A and B are shown apart, each in its own frame.
Chain A
Amino acid sequence: MNPWLLASIVLAFCLIPCGIAAFRGSPMDRLLGLEMGGVIVSMFFITLSEALGNPNFYDLALASALMAFGGGLVFVRFLERWL
């Protein structure tokens, strides 16, 4: 099997513990699962791009990284002040 495809599959399975963390505990505990998931998804898109030979997924990885920052920061400020 292509090592890039194998890496994509393993990274996709890494989202399961992130999902477990995001569904358990206090709201702040759940936020950690979301933040880790954003990083893993960015890496997943890079490995998937190499595995499939489709360079368009690099743009998705970059967009995912930037969106994870925006989303995470909004959640952090919201949880700090209002929730």
Chain B
Amino acid sequence: MTAPVWISSLLGICLFVCVICCLALALLRDFYVRLHYLAPVTTIGFVPLLIAVVIREGAGQAAMKTILVFAALLLINAVLTHATARAARVRRLGHWTADPEEHIPGSSVPRS
């Protein structure tokens, strides 16, 4: 298999993930469900793009800068997603912590 086919396939995966996540962001209604669609773009979507750039350019300046962008986006997106979810909860409830009577799915720790 030649390199351009590999590159086209990797770009196809990247674009598929990006299109699906962007459409989900525009079409879905629930805020927290939509918030989850920010993550696949920087992880599943960006990794094929990164590999495609490395295959085409080799270990040069372009690959290093792409790796830098990937690392920045990976770190930034996690922080930003957490901050966004926290801000949405504070806006809705006025505080960040869980209420005593609030049911948290998957939590087995009894709260007083």
Most buried by B among A31, A77, A80: A80
Main secondary structure of the interface of B (DSSP, over half): helix
Give Cα A58–Cα B11 distance, bound, in whole angstroms.
17
- Contact (Cβ within 8 A) B26 A7: no
Q: Given A36-B25, A50-B53, A76-B83, are A65 and B69 neighbors across the interface (CB < 8 Å)?
A: yes
Q: Given A7-B15, A46-B53, are A32 and B34 neighbors across the interface (CB < 8 Å)?
A: yes
Main secondary structure of the interface of A (DSSP, over half): helix
- Contact (Cβ within 8 A) A20 B15: no
Contact of B72 among A6, A29, A58, A66 (CB under 8 A): A66
In the complex, what residues of A have CB within 8 A of residue B56's CB?
50
Give the number of chain B interface residues (Cβ < 8 Å). 47
**B contact residues vs A (CB 8 Å cutoff):** 4, 7-8, 11, 14-15, 18-19, 21-23, 25-27, 31, 34-35, 37-38, 41-42, 45-46, 49, 53, 56-57, 61-62, 65-66, 68-69, 72-73, 76-77, 79-81, 83-84, 86-88, 90-91
In the complex, what residues of A have CB within 8 A of residue B26's CB?
17-18, 20-21, 33
In the complex, what residues of A have CB within 8 A of residue B38's CB?
32, 35-36, 39
- Contact (Cβ within 8 A) B15 A17: no
In the complex, what residues of A have CB within 8 A of residue B86's CB?
80
